Homo-oligomer: A and B are copies of this chain.
Amino acid sequence: MKILCTKNNLLSGINIVLKAVPTRTTLNILECILIDTRSGEIKLTANDMELGIETIIEGEVSDKGLIAINAKIFSEIIRRLPEGDVEISTDDSFNVNIKCGKAKFNISGRDGSEFSFLPNVEKERSIYISQFSLKEIVRQTLFSINENDNNKIMTGELFKIIGNRLRVAALDGHRIAIRELELKEDFGEMEVIVPGKTLGEISKILTGGLEDIVKIYFTRNHIVFEFDKTTVVSRLIEGQYFSVEKMVSSDYSTKLKINKKELFSCIERASLLVEVDKKPIVMNIEGSTLKMDIVSSMGSMEENLEINKEGNDIVIGFNPKFFIDALKVIDDEEISIYLSGAKHPCVIKDDDNSYNYVILPVSF
């Protein structure tokens, strides 16, 4: 095999597929990046058996073939090359020669045909969304998954489509994050659980352009994301996701509107005092005031925020982290909070239902 491409093209491609190289594995070949030029294009692939990424980079193929190269060594060498054209050539013993400017490297590769290629999935049913929307929706929900492997389903996110609406949900037992998005076309019905790791890695690769499109295919066991010159294939998590609809009650006894930024910085200040004692923050909602009144071993804090309230007065406690996480990803200047008692979940949502953040209270 022999190829010629710019250092920068090669490095961008390597950085994309690196996201699918496992950090620990018993299958040595998976620690490699595959360069496959049999089709006449330069295709890089990495695959950790749950998540696989391939990307095509620009360059010339003067001798077709395939080779697997240790991802860590390969990426480090390419990163440190001078700017310019890189020539990579291999021989029958899988020796890899890398030339760029005055620098010449020689390292051992492995037989590319031993590599675990990406599964060939049927690409039938698909939706289109912008890179921007996908990146945003993941940012706005992913913090709510439970990374603990005890409940596999909680490590993933629900992607549910009904007609022309995509709903993405994540939950960890203490809170739920739900975002909804309108699709350009009607898709019918579909529900899958996508590993959180897949979504996190994809977010890092997406350039996030409003005009750049991601095509998402759904199959029984896989989800496929196609964008730019890159294809990401991920296994789905098996099982039935929780009925999040039932957890988001539309009943409430108190509704309040409040400036998001003021509430956010007030909770940040309050959390400073309560975090040492691992106490909840207590919100005292009375008339047109939300009173935060904190006493801890470090000292005390008091702050009154103006609110617009409908319904009953209420005193309720929360883990400040869950509020901070949700408020961080809400862009609205003013938010609505729905409460139905000190032991019932609190819901932060907008009128369009484009977002729903449910937070369980803590007794105090």
Chain A interfacial positions (CB closer than 8 Å to B) = 73, 76-77, 80-82, 102-108, 262, 265-266, 268-269, 272-273, 298-305
Contacts and interface: CB of A to CB of B under 8 A. Distances in A.
A108 B82 CA distance: 58
A104 B305 contact: no
A102 B305 contact: yes
Contacts of A106: 299-302
A107 B299 contact: yes
A266 to B, nearest CB: 7
Contacts of A80: 265, 268-269, 272
A90 to B, nearest CB: 13
A77 B76 CA distance: 43
Contact of A77 (B77, B105, B269): B269
15 contacts: A73-B272, A73-B298, A76-B272, A80-B265, A80-B269, A82-B265, A102-B262, A102-B266, A104-B301, A104-B302, A105-B273, A105-B300, A105-B301, A106-B301, A107-B299
Contacts of A81: 269
B105 A299 contact: yes
A328 B29 CA distance: 37
Contacts of A303: 102-104
Nearest to A104: B302
A273 B85 CA distance: 21
Contacts of A77: 269, 272
Nearest to A268: B80
Contacts of A107: 298-300
Contacts of A103: 266, 269, 301-303
Nearest to A298: B73
A299 B108 contact: yes
A81 B302 CA distance: 13
A133 to B, nearest CB: 32
Contacts of A266: 102-103
Contacts of A269: 77, 80-81, 103, 105
Given A102-B266, A104-B303, 7 more contacts: A77-B269, A80-B268, A80-B272, A102-B305, A103-B266, A106-B299, A106-B301
Nearest to A276: B73
A105 B104 CA distance: 63
Contacts of A108: 299
A77 B266 CA distance: 11
B102 A304 contact: yes
A81 B303 CA distance: 11
A209 to B, nearest CB: 32
Contacts of A82: 265
Contacts of A105: 269, 273, 299-301
Contacts of A272: 73, 76-77, 80
